[in-house]
Amino acid sequence: MDFFLNPLGFIREWLLSLLTSIGITGPAGDFALIVLGTVVVGGLGLTLPLALIYIERRLIGRFQDRIGPNRVGPEGIFQTVADAIKLLIKEDITPLGADKFIYNLAPIMAVVSVLTMWAILPFSYNVFGTDLNVGALYFVSVGSLGTLAIMLGGWASNNKYALLGAFRTVAQMVCYEVPMILAILVPVLLASSMSMNAISAAQDQVWFLFSAPVAAFIFFLTSVAETGRAPFDLLEAESEIVAGFNIEYSGMKFGMFFVGEFLHAFTVGALTATLFMGGWTGPFADQYPLLGMLYFSLKAFIAYFVVIWMRATFPRIRIDHMLELNWKFLVPLALGSIVVTMLVDKLYAEFLQALFVEGARAYVRGGLLLLGNLALAAGAMVIATRAARYMRLKEESDKYMPVVEAEHGHDDHGHDDHGHEPHGVVAAAH
């Protein structure tokens, strides 16, 4: 078997022959391969944040006109290793009154929830952990374990600030899962499958990023919000609630929360690449799996770069603005995206598909879907602009109302001594 045509199968056959030579065959050999694969993927996931943290700190340093890590090792490359060693040797403190079992379980759940997502990510057409026919539903389900970990960590710490951070988890992360799940339905509809590998393969000609840009925008934005990173880092707003849900954690338990956060940020890039950027698809990727793995990695890092860009650029937003953005804008927009995708795709399949040759159908379909999404986005911007103008006028009216009432006497019905309405009300009416 050629390694370049089927790297995973080649390694599997080599390991099976090695296990057979030492007397491990049959179900025992298969089980040993599953355990070994889990250890390799888990080890990769736990060591990847060492590189991600360094890359992110250097990039943010460039964004903010500073250098970043540059002392420990060449160009500061060993800074994250020094930080990890420091966390390992720090004293492990458990606060009095804490629920010790749940307190110790929460950091583990935060990392496991992210690592288990990698089981269904297709790195190439034949390189993946498992190809579940409900892969999109699977990663939504296991991703909720991260939310649960933060809630448990804040509750078990026996600290009111940590508990307040856990309450914000419910207000932010759970709420933003609603439009995220709605946005995932769009690539599922376009690919007619919930398999992550099938969704990637369906974008061989046209990426869903171009066919469904509105859904891609919603998924990416809500996924960043679910990770709790800037500008959505209300879970650990230091200026408001000290350090958030993890205030009572120290040492490597504290570090595991951040391992999960950084790994989750890169996983957002990997999921965006899979669902909307074609995943492993690209020239000759169906012939050479290693080339598909390269395409997947490049796309994932491009999306991850945008996550870092957002963190370095945007300030933290108020929690009321964040929740209004979710419920009043993103959720209706996600529902509209689903409706537009269903209508345009159905009309194309019924009336237009037969008019075009096989090679042009994907591009015509993608173009029609793009036009529908652009119309939806334009309508959403018009509605949002009018709503913002109305809110601005209302705030100005409320601001000047006390001044007008102080200058003129008013009766109980809001009229002045001459029976006229206050100027603020008239301005708001116009």
Q: Minimal CA–CA distance to 334: which of 221, 198, 192, 204?
A: 221
Count the Cβ atoms, other than its own, within 10 Å of residue 5.
Answer: 13
Domain boundaries, the chain: 7-391, 399-429
Q: What would the pLDDT profile of 287-334 be if each residue is shown by its tens digit?
A: 888 899 999 999 999 999 999 999 999 888 888 888 889 999 999 999
Q: What would the pLDDT profile of 347-381 be if each residue is shown by its tens digit?
A: 999 988 888 888 889 999 999 999 999 999 999 99
The three-point CA angle 374-377-382 to 5° equals: 125
Residue 195 to residues 136, 201, 288, 423: CA-CA distances in angstroms?
A: 7, 10, 21, 61
Q: Minimal CA–CA distance to 279: which of 259, 265, 293, 263?
A: 293
> Which carries the bigger pLDDT value, residue 52 or residue 4?
52
Contacts of 218 by beta carbon, 8 Å cutoff, 6+ apart: 179, 180, 182, 183, 330, 333, 334, 337
Q: Is the pLDDT confidence value at 430 over 80?
A: no
- At 127 the three-state DSSP class reads strand
And the tokens for 294? 């390269």
* Dist CA 226 CA 55 (whole Å): 21
- Mean pLDDT value across residues 149-161: 88
Its pTM stands at: 0.87
User: Which band of pLDDT confidence, cut at 50, 70 and 90, is reported for residue 237?
Assistant: low
Q: Is residue 209 a contact partner of residue 369, using CB atoms and an 8 Å limit?
A: no
Q: What would the pLDDT profile of 80-105 be if each residue is shown by its tens digit?
A: 999 999 989 988 888 888 889 999 99
pLDDT of residue 67: 87
User: Which band of pLDDT confidence, cut at 50, 70 and 90, is reported for residue 261?
Assistant: confident
Helix axes 135-156 and 213-227, enclosed angle (nearest 10)? 30
Q: Is 282 left (phi over 0), alpha (psi -120 to 50) or beta?
A: left
Among the ranges given (165-169, 251-255, 301-305, 377-381), the one the predictor scored with the smallest mean pLDDT: 165-169
* Dist CA 319 CA 412 (whole Å): 36
The DSSP string of 38-58 is HHHHHHHHHHHHHHHHHHHHH
